[in-house]
C-alpha cells in the first residue's frame, strides 16, 4: 500500500472516531435527566396547567415550589433569604454532608454550601470564608432560627439536615413542612415556581421556553 493511501486511511479513521465521539456525546446528553427551578411568569399552577405540562416531550415531573421569605439566624449571624418547600423525594441533589434526620415538626433544612454567603454579624460585617466553613462543618450543631420577612415577630426554630454541593445556592425543605408553617402562622403563599425535571437536553430547553405567559397558557 502506498504511503499516501496509508496516511489517508489514518486520517479517515481519526475523523470517524471524532464524529462518533461527538454523536455519542450528543446522544448521552439527550439521555440525561435535567432538573431546574422554572418561574411560572404569571401562569396559574392548576390542573389545567399540569395537564398541558404533562404533554411536553421528555417531561418527568413538574413539582410545585413553595417559597417562604425569611430572615435566617445562624449563631451570631443572619441573612435575608428564602426557604424553598419542595417534594424532597423528587429533588435531585448532591450532598456534601448529610445526616439521617426524620421529618418532624421542626423544619429540616438542606442548605446549599453557597446559600449562606450573605451572612452578616450584628455590626453588618460579612462572615469570613473560614468561619462559614466552620459553621458548615458543624452543621448538625448549628443554632438556627427564622423569622418571616413580613412579620419579624413570628419566629421558629430550624435544624440543618444536610449541606448540599448541588444545588449550591438554595435552601430546601419539605413542602409539607412549608405548608404547615404557612398555615400555622397565617402566611399567604402561592406557587410561582416549579421544579422541572425533563429527560434530554433538547427537551429540557424547549420545556423551559414553554414557561412564557400567553393567552393560551403553555
Tens digits of residue pLDDT in 144-169: 999 998 888 999 999 999 999 999 99
**Domain contains 81:** yes
- 26 and 126 co-located in one domain: no
- 11 and 46 co-located in one domain: no
* Percent of the chain whose pLDDT exceeds 90: 56
Share the mean pLDDT of the chain: 84
Whether residue 142 has pLDDT greater than 50: yes
pLDDT tier at 190 (50, 70, 90 boundaries)?
confident
- 164 and 180 co-located in one domain: yes
- 49 and 138 co-located in one domain: yes
Whether residue 16 has pLDDT greater than 70: no
**Domain contains 214:** no
Q: Which own/partner contact pairs does 209-212 have at CB distance under 8 Å and 24+ positions apart? A: 210/56, 211/38, 211/39, 211/40, 211/41, 211/43, 212/41
For the chain, the domain total comes to 2
- 98 and 148 co-located in one domain: yes
- 131 and 191 co-located in one domain: yes
Cβ neighbourhood burial of 22 (10 Å; 0-12, 13-18, 19+):
exposed
- 164 and 136 co-located in one domain: yes
The domain in which residue 10 lies consists of 1-31
Chain segment 77-114, per-residue pLDDT in tens: 999 999 999 999 999 988 988 876 666 678 999 999 99
**Domain contains 109:** yes
- 95 and 21 co-located in one domain: no
What is the reported pTM?
A: 0.81
Chain segment 30-82, per-residue pLDDT in tens: 888 999 998 988 888 999 999 999 999 999 999 999 999 999 999 999 999 99
Choice between 39 and 218, residue whose per-residue pLDDT is larger: 39
- 124 and 71 co-located in one domain: yes
Residue position matching grid coordinates 458548615: 136
Amino acid at each position: 500500500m502506498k504511503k499516501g493511501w496509508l496516511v489517508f486511511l489514518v486520517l479517515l479513521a481519526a475523523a470517524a472516531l471524532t464524529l462518533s465521539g461527538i454523536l455519542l456525546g450528543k446522544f448521552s446528553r439527550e439521555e440525561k435527566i435535567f432538573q431546574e427551578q422554572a418561574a411560572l411568569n404569571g401562569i396559574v399552577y392548576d390542573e389545567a396547567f399540569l395537564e398541558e405540562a404533562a404533554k411536553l416531550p421528555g417531561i418527568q415531573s413538574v413539582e410545585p415550589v413553595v417559597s417562604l421569605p425569611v430572615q435566617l439566624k445562624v449563631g451570631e449571624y443572619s441573612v435575608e433569604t428564602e426557604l424553598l418547600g419542595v417534594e424532597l423525594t423528587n429533588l435531585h441533589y448532591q450532598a456534601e454532608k448529610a445526616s439521617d434526620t426524620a421529618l418532624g415538626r421542626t423544619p429540616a433544612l438542606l442548605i446549599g454550601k453557597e446559600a449562606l454567603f450573605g451572612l452578616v454579624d450584628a455590626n453588618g460585617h460579612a462572615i469570613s470564608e473560614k468561619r462559614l466553613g466552620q459553621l458548615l462543618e458543624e452543621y448538625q450543631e448549628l443554632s438556627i432560627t427564622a423569622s418571616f420577612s413580613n412579620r419579624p415577630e413570628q419566629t421558629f426554630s430550624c435544624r440543618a439536615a444536610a449541606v448540599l454541593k448541588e444545588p449550591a445556592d438554595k435552601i430546601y425543605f419539605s413542602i409539607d413542612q412549608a405548608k404547615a408553617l404557612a398555615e400555622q402562622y397565617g402566611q399567604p403563599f402561592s406557587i410561582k415556581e416549579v421544579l422541572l425535571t425533563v429527560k434530554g437536553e433538547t427537551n429540557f430547553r424547549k420545556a423551559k421556553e414553554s414557561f412564557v405567559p400567553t393567552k393560551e397558557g403553555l
